[in-house]
Amino acid sequence: MMHPMRNFFFLLIALSIAQCQIALSPEQEVETALKELLSIVEEADSLGDGYGSLEWTEKDSLLGYWTSVAEQQEGIHLSEEEQRELGKVLGRYSMIRMKHGARQIGEEIESIGTMIEGFLEGVLEETKREEE
């Protein structure tokens, strides 16, 4: 029951953000989008170690939203410098995401390794009992 409510809450936030965007000029939209993207990246970098899959999904969604806002202005109001900044921010996020993803995969592999060790110990113990 909590997941539908959480999804509804995020939908409301997205709609609120979209409503605020209507009142902004294209230049303000670009500036706001770049600031929000940078904020998302900085937060993911500093807090990403504690993120689970839900938090990463939320960050990915927010990143996707603000990226689309910025890209809507590409070629119209997005300067070459802003395009470069957008690429830089997206590149940083990708590396942060991969770094934390690799860490999570490593932890899962370690957990699986521990489980396999326990399994083998159980098999060996049972084999010894049967031999006695």
Q: What is the DSSP string of the chain?
A: -HHHHHHHHHHHHHHHHHHHHHTS-HHHHHHHHHHHHHHHHHHHHHHGGG--HHHHHHHHHHHHHHHHHHHTTBTTTB-HHHHHHHHHHHHHHHHHHHHHHHHHHHHHHHHHHHHHHHHHHHHHHHHHHHH-
pLDDT on residue 1: 44
Scanning the structure block, which residue is given the tokens 């999804």? 7
Contacts of 87-93 spanning 24+ positions with Cβ under 8 A: 89/34, 89/37, 89/38, 89/41, 90/37, 90/63, 92/41, 92/45, 93/37, 93/40, 93/41, 93/44, 93/63
**Residue ranges making up the domain that contains 75:** 2-131
CB atoms within 10 A of CB 19: 9
CA distance linking residue 78 with residue 70, whole number of Å: 8
Scanning the structure block, which residue is given the tokens 């990708």? 94
pLDDT on residue 105: 67
pLDDT on residue 70: 76
Q: Which two tokens stand for residue 89?
A: 């921010």
Q: Which residues pair with 74 in a beta bridge?
A: 78
Q: In total, how many domains does the chain have?
A: 1
Per-residue pLDDT of the chain (132 residues; tens, 9 = 90+): 445 556 666 655 665 665 554 555 666 777 788 888 888 888 888 888 888 778 888 888 888 888 887 777 665 667 788 888 888 888 888 888 888 776 666 666 777 777 888 888 888 888 888 887
pLDDT on residue 19: 52
Q: What is the pTM of this model?
A: 0.57
